[in-house]
Structure formats: structure tokens, C-alpha cells
Amino acid sequence: MPLSRLESFLRKEDVSFNKIVHHKTYTAQHTAADAHISGKEIAKTVIMKLDGQMCMIVLPGDMQVDFNLLKESTGAKDIRLASEMEFKDLFPNCEVGAMPPFGNLYDMPVYVAEALREDVFIAFNAGTHSLLIQMKYEDFERLVEPAIMKIAYHASY
């Protein structure tokens, strides 16, 4: 089951969380609408390569990665989106594109858009395109210990 690794970790750390089952969706905004959650409370995970190293970028669902800010904030010379072929095998038991933002469980650095800190609760894909985990942002930050940066801008839909 895709959730087992994450759920085991959260239970071991004694963190409260809710599971939210929703229709299968593939974008943060569709997921938010289907789960009846604000788009800014959805924490979407984008896999990128910074100077050849895979990393997770986590940002509110209503924002997009600002490549210039990311480059500036991290000091990376070469940044790009990772292709699904490059990362699909790094997340066993997860559907491609539905990996949870817990890079610490996958030996991957995590960079979080500072705007995500404004939310008391966040919800994110839990390994499938039809299940979210909702938990306190402060618990997420404590467990993952991400680098917090200004790396995103509001998308206009």
C-alpha cells in the first residue's frame, strides 16, 4: 500500500493527521476542488534537479516555482524540472506525480516556499492521486527540516 511508509513514519513520530479520499485528480487545483480544500493549503511536490542533484520543491497549490528565485536562493547554476523517467523509480509504492513531500524518507533535500508557512494545516498527495494526508504545517516542518525560501509566485488561472 502506497501510504505505509509515510503513515508508519507519522505514527512513529506521534503526529496527528487525517486521510482525505477524493476522486482521482492530477493537478493541485483539481485536487483542492475535489477535496473541498483551499488551493493554497494543498502542498504540491515538484521534483527538480539542481546542479544535477534531485530535490523536492514544495509549494502551495496555487503557486508555481520561480526558476530565477530558486537559482538565486540555492546558489545553483543549473536548474531544471526532472523528467518522470528520472524520478519514477526513486519513490517505490508511489504513483508517479503523487509522492509525498517527505524528502527525508527518500534521501532527498526539500526546499519549501515560504508562503506555505502561512497555513496552519497542509494537505498533500500520499502516494496516490486519490488520497491526501492533512496535518499541521508545523509538524511537517519539524519532521522534514526543509530549507525555507522565497522560490514561488502566484499562478494566474
| pTM for this entry | 0.92
**SS3 (DSSP) at 62:** coil
Question: What Å distances lie between residue 40 and 44, 82, 107, 115, 126, CA to CA?
Answer: 10, 23, 26, 9, 17
C-alpha to C-alpha distance for 73 and 76, rounded to whole angstroms: 8
Give the residue among 120, 94, 121, 124 at the shortest CA–CA distance from 110. Answer: 124
- Asked which of 10-14, 22-26, 134-138 is least confident by mean pLDDT, the reply is 22-26
Higher pLDDT, 35 or 82: 82
CATH code of the domain containing 78: 3.90.960.10
pLDDT digits (tens, 9 = 90+) for 46-68: 999 999 999 999 999 999 999 99
Containing domain of residue 78, as a range? 4-154
pLDDT confidence tier of residue 157, bands split at 50, 70 and 90:
low
**pLDDT, averaged across the chain:** 92
Query: What pairing do the DSSP bridges indicate for beta strands 152-154 and 53-60?
Result: unpaired
pLDDT above 90 covers what percent of the chain?
80
Count structural domains, the chain: 1
Query: Averaged over 36-54, what is the pLDDT?
Result: 93
Residue-wise pLDDT for 101-123, tens only, equals: 999 999 999 999 999 999 999 99
Structure confidence at residue 1 as a pLDDT band (50, 70, 90):
very low
